[in-house]
């Protein structure tokens, strides 16, 4: 069987116009996949040079395959049909290590054609490291490495305004572009790089905040032999991902033309502010997950896909989204409903076995950040508690008993919640406290909820009724009226 490389599989080559910090599965099945589509369908004509930002030789360099690799995108398409599409990605030219090829790294700044910088260096990647110095080869933190590269660019082209970069971080933190810009400016000050450089940094470069959304399942270890037989070649960098993707970039309107988004329809939005899209994702996608987990698991279901195949549980989730979450969000309803439809399609993806117990991690914090804002907004708007979001809170409290059908299961959360629930459920089992007292004890923890939820009109009463129904009749019967 052939090995994947450009000698065995000749094809299009693109001039290097993009630097990418990070060689991982996500960027390869998200950014590089989109660049590859734009290269094929437009005149973007942009090759990617990947910079490995950490001192590691695992996995091996993409350069052993001349930058080539295959994405397998699979899931339910917009029509609800299961699809699996393999694509040979040619947008990546090579990979370099900033630790073993530092001079080659700095030379990237000398290429007049480089225009974009993408990155994904994990949530902790955009941070300040006090020990980083200008002469380090390299500095430890990603922002310090980027600052050094930007200064090399500034010096090479004598501060030319048209040689600045569009910098598009994909790290999963709020307003990642603004955070990165602040740390870069801090290094510029620490290293005394001068007022002219700082002025060039701010006027010639754009730091764009982003929202990225795609489940990337990575290397399909259990299916490699079958997939490589179908492809007809060996690929050490096979990368699998779901069909859905969304890229929201807070940046100048001119970015759409620069990336040729006006010439080929990708699910990329150039916006003035990413916040409404972040809130939409947290409320609908993450909120639906968080409402679903304790209900479905205690109804005897183990995965998200199984839950969406269950008529009653699916109806509960969809009614929570369309009747209780969407009405209180601040975006056009048709946009929200379109996103919600994509979300439920993602939940049904037959290629992803998403275990409910893995999503249940830190459920108390997830409820506070993902569902509580919509519950309170709904009550404020209508004067009534949203029935399903309230029931989900009762189901969450029941979930922390750690027992289903007489068998225990692991509950993962902060130690103080684990200990508190063990104590409360033990007292409840010994009839030392009532269900109402248990509910009040949970809802009144102001340090967690950032308010005393036991003071929300009717909340203790309704959660108590729901929790008693779950305990007396079981989850299946208790949830039925809401399906």
Residue 190 pLDDT > 90: yes
- Mean pLDDT, range 148-152, rounded to an integer: 99
What confidence tier does 79 reach under pLDDT thresholds 50, 70, 90? Answer: confident
- What's this model's pTM, rounded to 2 decimal places? 0.90
Instruction: Give the rounded percent of residues in the chain with a pLDDT score beyond 70.
Output: 100
Classify residue 210 by its DSSP letter: E
Domains of the chain: 2-271 (3.40.50.720), 282-482 (1.10.1040.10)
Rounded to a whole number of angstroms, the CA Rg of the chain reads: 25
Asked which of 177-181, 360-364, 478-482 is least confident by mean pLDDT, the reply is 360-364
Residue 433 pLDDT > 90: yes
Instruction: Say if residues 141 and 54 touch (Cβ distance below 8 Å).
Output: no
- Mean pLDDT, range 116-129, rounded to an integer: 93
What confidence tier does 161 reach under pLDDT thresholds 50, 70, 90? Answer: very high
**pLDDT value at residue 205:** 99
Residue in the structure block whose two tokens are 């639906």: 288
**pLDDT value at residue 57:** 81
Q: Is the dihedral of CA 393, 397, 403, 406 positive or negative?
A: negative
Query: pLDDT of 260-270, one tens digit each?
Result: 999 999 999 99
Mean pLDDT, all residues of the chain: 96
Residue 123 pLDDT > 90: no
- Mean pLDDT, range 284-300, rounded to an integer: 97
The distance of Cα 255 from the centroid of its chain, to the nearest Å, equals: 22
Q: When comparing pLDDT for 358 and 468, which is higher?
A: 468
**pLDDT value at residue 465:** 99
Which has the closest alpha carbon to 386: 445, 331, 328, 451?
328
Phi, psi of 85 (to 5 degrees): -120, 120
- Mean pLDDT, range 96-115, rounded to an integer: 98
What confidence tier does 71 reach under pLDDT thresholds 50, 70, 90? Answer: very high
Query: pLDDT of 208-239, one tens digit each?
Result: 999 999 999 999 999 999 999 999 999 999 99
Q: Which residues contact 407 (CB under 8 A, 6 or more apart)?
A: none
Q: Where are the beta strands (DSSP E) in 53-106?
A: 69-76, 82-89, 92-97
Residue 137 pLDDT > 90: yes
Alpha-carbon span 367 to 411, nearest angstrom = 15
Burial class (CB in 10 A: 0-12, 13-18, 19+), 22: buried
């Amino acid at each position: 069987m052939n090995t994947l490389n450009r000698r065995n599989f000749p094809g299009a080559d693109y001039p290097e116009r993009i630097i990418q910090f990070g060689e991982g599965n996500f960027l390869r099945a998200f950014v590089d996949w989109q660049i590859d589509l734009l290269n094929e369908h437009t005149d973007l004509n942009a090759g990617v040079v990947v910079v490995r930002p950490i001192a590691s030789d695992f996995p091996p360099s993409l350069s052993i395959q001349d930058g080539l690799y295959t994405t397998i995108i699979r899931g339910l398409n917009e029509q609800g049909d299961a699809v699996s599409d393999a694509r040979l990605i040619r947008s990546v030219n090579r990979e370099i290590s900033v630790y073993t090829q530092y001079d080659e790294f700095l030379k990237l700044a000398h290429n007049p054609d480089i225009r974009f910088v993408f990155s994904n260096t994990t949530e902790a990647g955009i941070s300040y490291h006090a020990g980083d110095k200008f002469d380090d080869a390299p500095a430890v933190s990603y922002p310090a490495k980027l600052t050094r590269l930007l200064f090399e660019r500034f010096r090479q082209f004598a501060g030319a305004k048209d040689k600045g970069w569009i910098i598009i971080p994909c790290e999963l933190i709020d307003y990642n572009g603004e955070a990165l810009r602040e740390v870069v400016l801090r290094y510029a000050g620490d290293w005394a790089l001068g007022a002219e450089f700082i002025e060039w940094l701010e006027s010639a470069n754009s730091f764009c905040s982003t929202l990225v959304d795609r489940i990337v399942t990575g290397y399909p270890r259990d299916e490699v032999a079958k997939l490589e037989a179908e492809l007809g070649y060996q690929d050490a960098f096979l990368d699998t991902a779901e069909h859905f993707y969304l890229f929201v970039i807070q940046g100048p309107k001119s970015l759409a033309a620069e990336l040729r988004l006006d010439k080929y329809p990708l699910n990329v939005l150039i916006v003035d502010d990413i916040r409404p899209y972040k809130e939409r994702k947290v409320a609908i996608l993450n909120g639906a997950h968080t409402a679903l987990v304790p209900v479905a698991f205690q109804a005897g279901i183990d995965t998200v896909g199984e839950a969406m195949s269950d008529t009653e549980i699916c109806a509960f989730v969809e009614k929570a989204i369309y009747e209780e979450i969407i009405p209180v969000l601040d975006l056009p309803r048709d946009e929200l409903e379109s996103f919600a439809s994509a979300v439920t399609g993602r939940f049904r993806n037959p290629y992803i076995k998403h275990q409910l117990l893995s999503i249940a991690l830190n459920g108390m914090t997830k409820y506070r950040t993902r569902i509580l804002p919509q519950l309170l907004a709904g009550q404020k708007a209508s004067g009534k508690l949203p029935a399903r979001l309230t029931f989900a809170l009762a189901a969450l409290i029941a979930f922390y008993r750690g027992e289903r059908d007489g068998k225990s299961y692991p509950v993962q959360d902060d130690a103080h919640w684990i200990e508190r629930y063990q104590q409360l459920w033990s007292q409840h089992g010994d009839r030392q406290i009532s269900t109402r007292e248990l509910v009040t004890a949970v809802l009144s923890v102001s340090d967690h909820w950032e308010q005393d939820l036991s003071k929300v009109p009717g909340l203790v009463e309704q959660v108590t009724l729901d929790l008693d129904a779950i305990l007396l009749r079981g989850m299946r019967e208790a949830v039925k009226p809401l399906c």
